[in-house]
Amino acid sequence: MTTADRVIAAARADLGCSESPPGSNDGACVNRIQSSTGAYNAAWCASAVTYWWQKAGIDVSTLGTAGTADLVDRARREGRLRSKPVPGCAVVWSPGDRGHTEIVIRTIGSVGARTIGGNTGDAVREHDRYINGPNTFFIVPDELEAKPEYSTTYWWEDPAAEPVRHELRNSAARREQDITEWVGKGGQPGHVRRGTVSIRRHGKLVPVFTWWSGPRKRSPDWTSPPLATPAAAKRKRDANHDKVSAERPGHILRKRSARVRVN
């Protein structure tokens, strides 16, 4: 069970909790929720968010509060405001005296979400909400941020290919077989680079750092003063490429700054 699942499960466990008497911000289960912030006999939607986060194992020492405006202020100071919601995060509408906050269960299209919140009609309720208003904020604790997964991968570069990365393989175990296939298709075995790749939650592979799998001969073109025209620079670059390719087949002359890096 993920942290988001635990947040949602904790909130759903309180479905049906209501004020007693109605409109009093009081009652046994309401007081239990309010104990997370100590704000008894007060509006308790933010206390409910704090309580469910805490029950799920999220550190609420910097975000936990009983007020919607204070919740947004704390999130801004901690760098936890996000442009899009994720399951388990808090959505805050119009922070202030008339503000309200709930937990996001899932998004519905681009403008809606299934949410669960306290102090909603004097009770804990689950329903669909509009979340695309101009004064709406999404607060995502660190524990709910998608952590990247890392794996080692290999890829091949072709000096004539655009974009720079010509082929990308996910399995390091197939390296030798992949090299054989690459050479069989006309690729040069020296065009092998290796790096740690972060697999983000949307599935895009992003190099965190890269290095050559073997020695690399650098072209003097990159350290010499720029030539007068792009055409002259291209002629010199092509000449360097032909020279080095003849000496060391398979090595690419490419500016280091042209590599894609994500720190």
- Domain shared by 136 and 22, yes or no: yes
In this structure, is residue 263 part of a structural domain?
Answer: no
CA pair distance 178, 156, nearest whole angstrom: 10
Question: Are 177 and 47 in a shared domain?
Answer: no
Q: Is 139 in the same domain as 15? A: yes
Domain end among 93, 116, 144: 144
Q: What is the DSSP string of 68-115?
A: HHHHHHHHHHHT-EESS--TT-EEEES-STT-EEEEEEEEETTTEEEE
Q: Are 182 and 111 in the same domain?
A: no
In contact, 89 and 8? CB cutoff 8 Å = no
211 occurs within a structural domain: yes
| Domain extent at residue 81 | 3-144
Q: For residue 197, tell me if it sits in a domain.
A: yes
Are 112 and 167 part of one and the same domain? Answer: no
Do both 93 and 203 map to the same domain?
no
Q: How far apart are CA 179 and CA 210, in angstroms?
A: 18
Same domain? For 19 and 93 the reply is: yes
**Distance of alpha carbon 80 from alpha carbon 67, whole angstroms:** 16
The whole-number pLDDT of residue 207 equals 47
Co-location of 132 and 202 in the same domain: no
Q: Residue 208: its pLDDT value, please?
A: 44
Identify whether residues 159 and 82 lie together within a single domain: no
Domain membership flag for residue 160: yes
CA distance 139 to 135: 13
Q: What is the mean pLDDT of each run of 10 residues along the chain (263 residues)?
A: 95 97 96 97 98 97 96 95 95 95 95 96 96 93 77 47 41 55 59 47 45 38 44 70 61 43 41
Is 104 contained in some domain?
A: yes
- DSSP H stretches of helix in the chain: 3-12, 28-34, 45-55, 68-78, 175-184, 230-247
Q: Locate 185 and state its tokens.
A: 């298709």
Pick from 126, 144, 162: which residue ends a domain?
144
- Neighbour tally for 105: CB within 10 Å: 21
CA dist 105 to 12, 88, 128, Å?
10, 6, 10
Residues 167 and 136 placed together within one structural domain of the fold: no
- Edge-first strand listing for the sheet containing 112-117: 81-82, 136-139, 90-93, 100-108, 112-117, 125-130
What is the predicted pLDDT for the residue at 190? 52
Q: For the chain, what is the domain count?
A: 2
Identify whether residues 11 and 100 lie together within a single domain.
yes
Residues 6+ apart with CB under 8 A from 106: 87, 113, 114
* Contact by Cβ (8 Å): 75, 81: yes
The strand pairing partners of 199, in sequence order, are 149, 205
